[in-house]
Amino acid sequence: MDYKPYIRDHYVPVPDEIDATDLAVTGVLPPELNGRYLRNGHNPKPGITPTHWFKGSGMLHGVELAGGRARWYRNRWVRTPALDGAPEMRPDGSMDLTASVAGTHIIEHGGRLLALQEANLPFEVTPGLDTVGPFDFAGKLTSAMTAHPKEDPVTGNLYFFSYSPFPPYLTYLVADAAGTLVRSEVVEGSGPSLMHDFAITETKVIWLDLPVVFDLSETSGIPYRWHDDYPARIGVMPRDGSTEVTWIPVEPAAVLHTTNAYDGPGGTVVLEGPRYDRAGWETSWKWWSGAPGCPDVPVTGATATRWILDPARGSARRTDLDDLTTDFPTINPERLGRHSDLSYHAAFPGAGLHEYALVKLDTAAGTRIVSPAGPGRQPGEAVFVPAEHGVAEDDGWLLTIVSDLREDASELLVLDAHDLSVTASVVLPRRVPSGIHGSWIPDSRLG
């Protein structure tokens, strides 16, 4: 069997679904953490080796916290047609929007839990993580849905999009706070690029039309490659009203995840996110696809970057914010689309780091805190949970699942967002494979 790094080491899939209750806790769980930490990731069934990391079937892992206790852990595959081998393409050549692996993210909106994969419809799951089925917003969603929607912290509206390698390349979508789809409009002027994420401000939508574009010669099953002849652009569009986009040329780059964006002075827009150059992107892609010459450990060539976009002048200014190789950025969700100085990142070995770590960047002060995970340990994305009566941007906690190869074990860490110190550790009943994105869902959001 070909060497596939994304099913080895920290990423070895688990073969079954289990439940456990009354989990052991070291330290003290903040008593106001009453809800569920849910995380998604790719976990193919036993005996199946996908051609790309992103094509492994989605599996959800959940931990319920209440009253200072860890009440349960459970894991469930998202039971989509793809789990049992249904092809993405129908016999007539059209896409089956339900043939999703649903393995990228899980969110709550309008009282529903949705497992997301950007080429397909979302899949609704129950609070206990059992699959309900594809969710199409009462028949109003007729295209795929990004795995990175943005919920405005003031209005509760959900902003998202659909992208495609074929026209229409980009569709803008909005659901209100109750979960009703209220807007669906084609955005003209985009191209067949890999648009994994986007950003919003209080007044704008930011689109990323960058040089990783549709290419059928890519054989990994994710048909996109970097093309130097494709012009890199970032688009600025009004959040409400017109879908007219001001496209601003930028230096060639790839961006999988945005950190945040906000309105700046004089009509400018500030956008932040991990930026890949071509070498960093192609090295990372080799690991994700298990291509010949791929590295043994996951890498990211991305580094934290800021763009100041000026739509009036059609110009952009780029600033490198840090030199560590990082991705999976998170912020206090109450600052989404608003000015923010603090962000949290998963850091990878390289650029001076010899092990995995969590990193806090303070772009106002120009400082960072690095919290190494320890030998044989890999933390995932750090989900920010705001403190109930928080005032400062970092009043809250970070939740992340750590995979420990030396102990063949995992724990859910609760860290103080001020200094990345560990507040509590929840012992999980098995080693949980390293995954991708997750959410904290307060009990109040699930009725």
Binding-site sequence positions: 148, 196, 257, 437
Please report the sign of the dihedral spanned by the C-alpha atoms of residue 231, residue 232, residue 236, residue 240. Answer: positive
Residues 6+ apart with CB under 8 A from 264: 270, 308
**Beta bridge partner(s), residue 346:** 327, 358
Query: Which neighbouring-strand residues pair with 367?
Result: 362
Q: Are 302 and 283 in contact (CB under 8 A)?
A: no
Q: CA 62, CA 225: separation in Å to the nearest integer? A: 34
Tokens of 62: 């959940």
Task: Cite the annotated binding site for Fe cation by residue number.
Answer: 148, 196, 257, 437
Which residues, in sequence order, are CB contacts of 190 under 8 Å at separation 6+? 163, 169, 170, 207, 209, 235, 245
Q: Are strands 377-379 and 383-386 parallel, antiparallel or unpaired?
A: unpaired
Q: Where are the beta strands (DSSP E) in 290-395?
A: 303-310, 315-320, 326-330, 342-347, 357-362, 367-372, 377-379, 383-386
Residue 384 in contact with residue 331, Cβ under 8 Å? yes
C-alpha triplet 50, 195, 14: angle, nearest 5°: 30
- CA separation for the pair 243, 257 (Å, rounded): 22
Residues 6+ apart with CB under 8 A from 91: none
Interstrand relation of 269-275 and 315-320 (parallel, antiparallel or unpaired)? unpaired
Q: What distance in Å separates the CA atoms of residue 358 and residue 326, rounded to the nearest whole number?
A: 9
Distances (CA, A) of 444 to 108, 111, 345: 11, 9, 27
The helix (H) or strand (E) run that includes residue 107 is: strand 105-109
